[in-house]
Amino acid sequence: LCPIVQPMAKVNLEFVLIIEGNWRCMKHLGLFIKAILIFAYLAGSASEPVNPYPAGSPLAATIVKHSYYTLAYSEENEQALWVYYRLTPDFITGTVKRNDNFRPDPAVRTGSATLADYKNSGYDRGHLCPAADMKLNTTAMSETFYMSNMSPQVPGFNRGIWAQVEDQVRKWTLTYDSLYVVTGPVFRNNLGVIGQNKVTVPGYYYKVIYSPGKERMIGLVLPNKASSEPVSRFVVSVDSIESLTGIDFFPELADASEDELERAVDISGWMNTGSGGRMASASTTTHENPPATRLQCKGIAKSTGKRCRTLTTNANGYCNAHQAQAAPVKKEGHLSRRFRNIL
Protein backbone atom coordinates (compact mmCIF):
# COMPACT_ATOMS: atom_id res chain seq x y z
CA LEU A 1 0.00 0.00 0.00
CA CYS A 2 1.58 3.28 -1.09
CA PRO A 3 1.18 6.05 1.51
CA ILE A 4 -0.08 9.41 0.26
CA VAL A 5 -1.02 8.22 -3.22
CA GLN A 6 -3.44 5.52 -2.04
CA PRO A 7 -6.43 7.11 -0.25
CA MET A 8 -7.80 5.22 2.74
CA ALA A 9 -11.06 5.68 4.61
CA LYS A 10 -10.08 5.62 8.27
CA VAL A 11 -6.53 6.62 8.99
CA ASN A 12 -4.47 8.70 11.36
CA LEU A 13 -1.76 11.07 10.24
CA GLU A 14 1.73 11.23 11.66
CA PHE A 15 3.65 14.43 11.25
CA VAL A 16 7.34 14.60 11.87
CA LEU A 17 8.97 18.02 11.97
CA ILE A 18 12.74 17.94 12.07
CA ILE A 19 14.36 21.28 12.76
CA GLU A 20 18.11 21.68 12.76
CA GLY A 21 20.11 24.83 13.34
CA ASN A 22 21.81 26.97 15.90
CA TRP A 23 19.54 28.48 18.58
CA ARG A 24 21.65 31.57 18.95
CA CYS A 25 21.34 32.27 15.25
CA MET A 26 17.61 31.64 15.43
CA LYS A 27 17.22 34.00 18.36
CA HIS A 28 19.42 36.86 17.26
CA LEU A 29 19.79 36.57 13.51
CA GLY A 30 16.31 35.37 12.60
CA LEU A 31 14.75 32.00 11.94
CA PHE A 32 16.97 29.46 10.22
CA ILE A 33 14.83 26.47 9.49
CA LYS A 34 15.53 23.14 7.99
CA ALA A 35 12.35 21.19 8.28
CA ILE A 36 10.95 18.04 6.83
CA LEU A 37 7.20 17.48 6.89
CA ILE A 38 6.26 13.81 6.57
CA PHE A 39 2.68 12.98 5.64
CA ALA A 40 2.26 9.24 6.24
CA TYR A 41 -0.95 7.24 6.46
CA LEU A 42 -0.91 4.80 9.34
CA ALA A 43 -3.92 2.49 9.02
CA GLY A 44 -5.44 1.52 12.36
CA SER A 45 -2.83 3.39 14.37
CA ALA A 46 -3.28 5.79 17.24
CA SER A 47 0.15 7.34 16.75
CA GLU A 48 0.57 10.96 17.82
CA PRO A 49 2.75 13.60 16.16
CA VAL A 50 6.43 13.12 16.95
CA ASN A 51 8.77 15.86 18.18
CA PRO A 52 12.38 14.68 17.80
CA TYR A 53 13.73 17.16 20.37
CA PRO A 54 13.27 16.99 24.17
CA ALA A 55 10.58 19.22 25.64
CA GLY A 56 13.19 21.51 27.24
CA SER A 57 15.16 22.10 24.06
CA PRO A 58 14.99 25.60 22.56
CA LEU A 59 14.74 23.91 19.15
CA ALA A 60 11.60 21.99 20.07
CA ALA A 61 8.79 23.07 17.74
CA THR A 62 5.26 22.71 19.03
CA ILE A 63 3.31 20.32 16.84
CA VAL A 64 -0.39 20.69 17.55
CA LYS A 65 -2.98 18.25 16.26
CA HIS A 66 -6.49 19.64 16.37
CA SER A 67 -9.55 17.68 15.36
CA TYR A 68 -9.36 18.42 11.63
CA TYR A 69 -6.02 20.12 10.99
CA THR A 70 -2.46 19.97 12.30
CA LEU A 71 0.09 22.76 12.63
CA ALA A 72 3.72 23.31 13.59
CA TYR A 73 3.99 26.40 15.81
CA SER A 74 7.01 28.71 15.69
CA GLU A 75 7.56 30.47 19.01
CA GLU A 76 10.19 32.59 17.29
CA ASN A 77 7.53 34.09 14.98
CA GLU A 78 4.41 33.45 17.10
CA GLN A 79 2.54 31.69 14.30
CA ALA A 80 2.44 28.38 12.48
CA LEU A 81 5.19 27.37 10.07
CA TRP A 82 2.65 25.20 8.30
CA VAL A 83 -0.97 24.15 8.65
CA TYR A 84 -1.99 20.86 7.04
CA TYR A 85 -5.38 19.28 6.46
CA ARG A 86 -7.38 17.08 4.13
CA LEU A 87 -10.22 18.92 2.43
CA THR A 88 -13.30 17.10 1.13
CA PRO A 89 -16.64 18.44 -0.14
CA ASP A 90 -18.49 17.76 3.12
CA PHE A 91 -16.26 20.28 4.91
CA ILE A 92 -17.24 22.95 2.38
CA THR A 93 -20.94 22.22 1.98
CA GLY A 94 -21.65 22.09 5.71
CA THR A 95 -24.08 24.55 7.27
CA VAL A 96 -22.14 25.70 10.35
CA LYS A 97 -21.82 29.47 10.51
CA ARG A 98 -18.66 31.43 11.25
CA ASN A 99 -18.45 32.29 14.97
CA ASP A 100 -15.42 34.65 15.19
CA ASN A 101 -14.37 33.05 18.49
CA PHE A 102 -10.76 34.25 18.32
CA ARG A 103 -8.75 32.99 21.31
CA PRO A 104 -5.27 31.76 22.30
CA ASP A 105 -4.49 28.14 21.53
CA PRO A 106 -4.25 26.19 24.82
CA ALA A 107 -2.34 23.40 23.07
CA VAL A 108 0.67 25.64 22.35
CA ARG A 109 2.76 25.03 25.46
CA THR A 110 4.84 28.21 25.06
CA GLY A 111 1.70 30.32 24.61
CA SER A 112 0.35 31.45 21.28
CA ALA A 113 -0.14 35.00 20.06
CA THR A 114 -3.05 36.89 21.58
CA LEU A 115 -5.83 39.20 20.46
CA ALA A 116 -3.94 42.08 22.06
CA ASP A 117 -1.00 41.52 19.70
CA TYR A 118 -3.22 42.33 16.72
CA LYS A 119 -5.24 45.14 18.30
CA ASN A 120 -4.69 48.48 16.50
CA SER A 121 -1.84 46.92 14.51
CA GLY A 122 -3.35 47.67 11.12
CA TYR A 123 -3.19 43.98 10.18
CA ASP A 124 -5.95 41.39 9.89
CA ARG A 125 -5.95 38.14 11.84
CA GLY A 126 -5.54 36.10 8.68
CA HIS A 127 -6.57 32.44 8.78
CA LEU A 128 -4.11 29.83 7.51
CA CYS A 129 -6.78 27.13 7.66
CA PRO A 130 -9.82 29.12 6.48
CA ALA A 131 -13.05 29.08 8.48
CA ALA A 132 -14.96 28.43 5.25
CA ASP A 133 -12.99 25.19 4.83
CA MET A 134 -14.27 23.89 8.16
CA LYS A 135 -18.08 24.09 8.00
CA LEU A 136 -18.46 20.39 8.79
CA ASN A 137 -19.43 20.90 12.45
CA THR A 138 -19.09 23.36 15.32
CA THR A 139 -15.79 21.88 16.52
CA ALA A 140 -14.18 22.17 13.12
CA MET A 141 -15.35 25.77 12.77
CA SER A 142 -14.41 26.82 16.29
CA GLU A 143 -10.86 25.46 16.13
CA THR A 144 -10.01 27.62 13.12
CA PHE A 145 -10.22 30.65 15.42
CA TYR A 146 -7.28 29.64 17.60
CA MET A 147 -4.65 32.36 17.40
CA SER A 148 -2.10 29.72 16.41
CA ASN A 149 -3.98 29.57 13.08
CA MET A 150 -3.62 33.32 12.54
CA SER A 151 -0.96 35.34 10.77
CA PRO A 152 -0.79 39.15 10.35
CA GLN A 153 -2.07 39.97 6.88
CA VAL A 154 -2.48 43.27 5.09
CA PRO A 155 -6.26 43.89 4.99
CA GLY A 156 -6.35 44.35 1.21
CA PHE A 157 -4.50 41.05 0.82
CA ASN A 158 -6.57 39.03 3.30
CA ARG A 159 -9.91 40.23 1.96
CA GLY A 160 -8.80 40.30 -1.67
CA ILE A 161 -6.41 38.02 -3.54
CA TRP A 162 -5.91 35.65 -0.55
CA ALA A 163 -9.67 35.17 -0.23
CA GLN A 164 -9.78 34.42 -3.97
CA VAL A 165 -7.08 31.75 -3.58
CA GLU A 166 -9.00 30.15 -0.71
CA ASP A 167 -12.19 30.14 -2.73
CA GLN A 168 -10.35 28.62 -5.68
CA VAL A 169 -9.12 25.75 -3.51
CA ARG A 170 -12.69 25.04 -2.40
CA LYS A 171 -13.85 24.90 -6.02
CA TRP A 172 -11.09 22.46 -6.86
CA THR A 173 -12.15 20.33 -3.90
CA LEU A 174 -15.70 20.07 -5.20
CA THR A 175 -14.27 18.82 -8.50
CA TYR A 176 -11.47 16.54 -7.28
CA ASP A 177 -13.36 15.26 -4.20
CA SER A 178 -10.28 15.19 -1.94
CA LEU A 179 -7.29 17.51 -1.69
CA TYR A 180 -4.41 17.86 0.74
CA VAL A 181 -3.68 21.48 1.59
CA VAL A 182 -0.58 22.94 3.24
CA THR A 183 -0.50 26.67 4.02
CA GLY A 184 1.98 28.90 5.78
CA PRO A 185 4.07 32.07 5.85
CA VAL A 186 7.30 32.74 4.00
CA PHE A 187 9.63 34.72 6.24
CA ARG A 188 11.33 36.77 3.54
CA ASN A 189 11.17 40.56 3.22
CA ASN A 190 9.13 40.60 6.42
CA LEU A 191 7.07 43.70 7.18
CA GLY A 192 8.06 43.98 10.84
CA VAL A 193 6.53 42.70 14.08
CA ILE A 194 3.37 43.52 16.02
CA GLY A 195 2.26 43.33 19.63
CA GLN A 196 3.94 42.57 22.92
CA ASN A 197 4.75 39.06 21.69
CA LYS A 198 6.47 40.45 18.59
CA VAL A 199 4.46 38.50 16.05
CA THR A 200 6.33 38.48 12.74
CA VAL A 201 4.50 40.02 9.79
CA PRO A 202 5.54 37.75 6.89
CA GLY A 203 6.53 39.11 3.53
CA TYR A 204 4.81 36.28 1.65
CA TYR A 205 2.44 33.32 2.02
CA TYR A 206 2.34 29.95 0.28
CA LYS A 207 -0.17 27.23 -0.48
CA VAL A 208 0.61 23.73 -1.70
CA ILE A 209 -2.31 21.64 -2.95
CA TYR A 210 -2.10 17.96 -3.88
CA SER A 211 -4.75 15.81 -5.54
CA PRO A 212 -3.92 12.14 -4.91
CA GLY A 213 -6.76 10.99 -7.16
CA LYS A 214 -5.56 12.95 -10.19
CA GLU A 215 -1.89 12.93 -9.17
CA ARG A 216 -1.64 16.67 -9.59
CA MET A 217 0.12 19.25 -7.49
CA ILE A 218 0.15 23.03 -7.56
CA GLY A 219 1.88 25.71 -5.51
CA LEU A 220 1.28 29.41 -5.01
CA VAL A 221 3.37 32.16 -3.41
CA LEU A 222 1.82 35.58 -2.86
CA PRO A 223 3.28 38.78 -1.40
CA ASN A 224 1.50 40.09 1.68
CA LYS A 225 -0.10 43.02 -0.10
CA ALA A 226 -3.24 43.86 -2.05
CA SER A 227 -3.23 42.77 -5.67
CA SER A 228 -5.51 42.95 -8.68
CA GLU A 229 -3.58 40.23 -10.53
CA PRO A 230 -5.30 36.92 -11.38
CA VAL A 231 -4.60 33.92 -9.16
CA SER A 232 -2.61 32.31 -11.98
CA ARG A 233 0.00 35.06 -11.66
CA PHE A 234 1.15 33.52 -8.36
CA VAL A 235 1.46 29.88 -9.43
CA VAL A 236 4.98 28.52 -8.87
CA SER A 237 6.61 25.11 -8.62
CA VAL A 238 6.36 23.29 -5.31
CA ASP A 239 10.14 22.86 -5.50
CA SER A 240 10.54 26.63 -5.35
CA ILE A 241 8.34 26.78 -2.23
CA GLU A 242 10.48 24.08 -0.63
CA SER A 243 13.53 26.22 -1.33
CA LEU A 244 11.89 29.30 0.16
CA THR A 245 10.64 27.59 3.31
CA GLY A 246 12.92 24.61 3.90
CA ILE A 247 9.94 22.25 4.05
CA ASP A 248 9.82 18.95 2.15
CA PHE A 249 6.10 18.54 1.60
CA PHE A 250 5.61 15.05 0.17
CA PRO A 251 8.74 12.91 0.69
CA GLU A 252 6.71 9.71 0.88
CA LEU A 253 5.83 9.90 -2.79
CA ALA A 254 7.99 7.82 -5.10
CA ASP A 255 11.05 9.92 -5.94
CA ALA A 256 10.35 10.07 -9.67
CA SER A 257 6.73 11.07 -9.13
CA GLU A 258 7.58 13.58 -6.41
CA ASP A 259 10.30 15.24 -8.47
CA GLU A 260 8.08 15.55 -11.53
CA LEU A 261 5.05 16.87 -9.65
CA GLU A 262 7.03 19.33 -7.55
CA ARG A 263 9.21 20.63 -10.37
CA ALA A 264 6.41 21.43 -12.80
CA VAL A 265 4.29 24.57 -12.94
CA ASP A 266 1.31 22.87 -14.52
CA ILE A 267 -1.43 25.47 -14.72
CA SER A 268 -3.09 23.57 -17.54
CA GLY A 269 -3.98 20.75 -15.18
CA TRP A 270 -6.00 23.09 -12.95
CA MET A 271 -7.00 26.12 -14.99
CA ASN A 272 -10.23 24.76 -16.44
CA THR A 273 -11.45 23.19 -13.21
CA GLY A 274 -13.83 25.31 -11.17
CA SER A 275 -11.83 28.42 -11.97
CA GLY A 276 -14.45 30.66 -13.47
CA GLY A 277 -11.79 31.72 -15.96
CA ARG A 278 -9.61 33.39 -13.34
CA MET A 279 -6.80 30.83 -13.64
CA ALA A 280 -6.54 31.01 -17.41
CA SER A 281 -3.33 32.80 -18.24
CA ALA A 282 -1.15 29.95 -19.47
CA SER A 283 -1.76 26.59 -21.07
CA THR A 284 1.61 24.89 -20.91
CA THR A 285 3.76 23.23 -18.29
CA THR A 286 6.92 25.11 -17.39
CA HIS A 287 9.76 24.47 -14.95
CA GLU A 288 10.70 27.86 -13.64
CA ASN A 289 11.31 29.28 -10.19
CA PRO A 290 10.19 32.69 -8.85
CA PRO A 291 12.66 35.60 -9.05
CA ALA A 292 15.44 35.47 -6.46
CA THR A 293 14.84 37.61 -3.37
CA ARG A 294 17.66 39.77 -1.97
CA LEU A 295 17.87 39.53 1.81
CA GLN A 296 20.20 40.97 4.41
CA CYS A 297 22.96 38.50 5.25
CA LYS A 298 22.50 36.61 8.53
CA GLY A 299 26.24 36.59 9.20
CA ILE A 300 28.16 38.65 11.76
CA ALA A 301 30.88 40.95 10.47
CA LYS A 302 34.16 40.46 12.37
CA SER A 303 35.09 44.11 12.00
CA THR A 304 32.00 45.44 13.77
CA GLY A 305 30.59 42.45 15.65
CA LYS A 306 27.22 43.32 14.12
CA ARG A 307 25.03 41.76 11.46
CA CYS A 308 26.45 41.98 7.95
CA ARG A 309 24.73 44.60 5.81
CA THR A 310 25.30 42.83 2.48
CA LEU A 311 22.21 41.78 0.52
CA THR A 312 22.31 38.24 -0.80
CA THR A 313 20.17 35.90 -2.90
CA ASN A 314 21.79 32.78 -1.43
CA ALA A 315 19.07 30.43 -0.20
CA ASN A 316 20.69 29.88 3.21
CA GLY A 317 20.62 33.62 3.98
CA TYR A 318 24.41 34.10 4.20
CA CYS A 319 26.44 36.15 1.72
CA ASN A 320 29.47 34.57 0.05
CA ALA A 321 31.85 36.09 2.61
CA HIS A 322 30.01 34.50 5.55
CA GLN A 323 29.22 31.02 4.24
CA ALA A 324 31.44 29.57 6.97
CA GLN A 325 28.91 30.79 9.56
CA ALA A 326 26.08 28.78 8.01
CA ALA A 327 25.16 25.50 9.70
CA PRO A 328 26.87 22.49 8.07
CA VAL A 329 24.83 20.03 6.03
CA LYS A 330 24.79 16.36 6.97
CA LYS A 331 26.25 14.17 4.27
CA GLU A 332 24.01 11.17 4.70
CA GLY A 333 20.32 10.37 4.52
CA HIS A 334 17.18 11.77 2.94
CA LEU A 335 17.38 15.06 4.82
CA SER A 336 20.72 16.14 3.42
CA ARG A 337 19.67 15.12 -0.09
CA ARG A 338 16.51 17.22 0.09
CA PHE A 339 18.28 20.30 1.44
CA ARG A 340 21.40 20.21 -0.70
CA ASN A 341 19.99 22.94 -2.94
CA ILE A 342 18.63 24.98 -0.03
CA LEU A 343 21.84 25.55 1.92
* Residues recognised as catalytic: 127
With a CB cutoff of 8 Å and minimum separation 6, the contacts of 68 are: 85, 91, 134, 136, 139, 140, 143
Which phi and psi angles does 332 have, rounded to 5°? Answer: -120, 160
Type and span of the H or E element at 92: helix 89-92
Instruction: Report the candidate in 234, 204, 199 with the shortest Cα–Cα distance to residue 219.
Output: 234
| Residue 277 contacts residue 268 (beta carbons within 8 Å) | no
Which phi and psi angles does 259 have, rounded to 5°? Answer: -60, -40
CA distances from 251 to 39, 62, 174, 326 (A): 8, 21, 26, 25
CA distances from 191 to 134, 188, 198, 270 (A): 29, 9, 12, 32
Residue 334: CB atoms within 10 A of its CB come to 12
Instruction: Report the candidate in 188, 192, 210, 125 with the shortest Cα–Cα distance to residue 159.
Output: 125
* Strands 247-248 and 35-36, bridge-based pairing: parallel
40 vs 60: CA distance, rounded Å: 21
User: Bridge partners of 12?
Assistant: 42
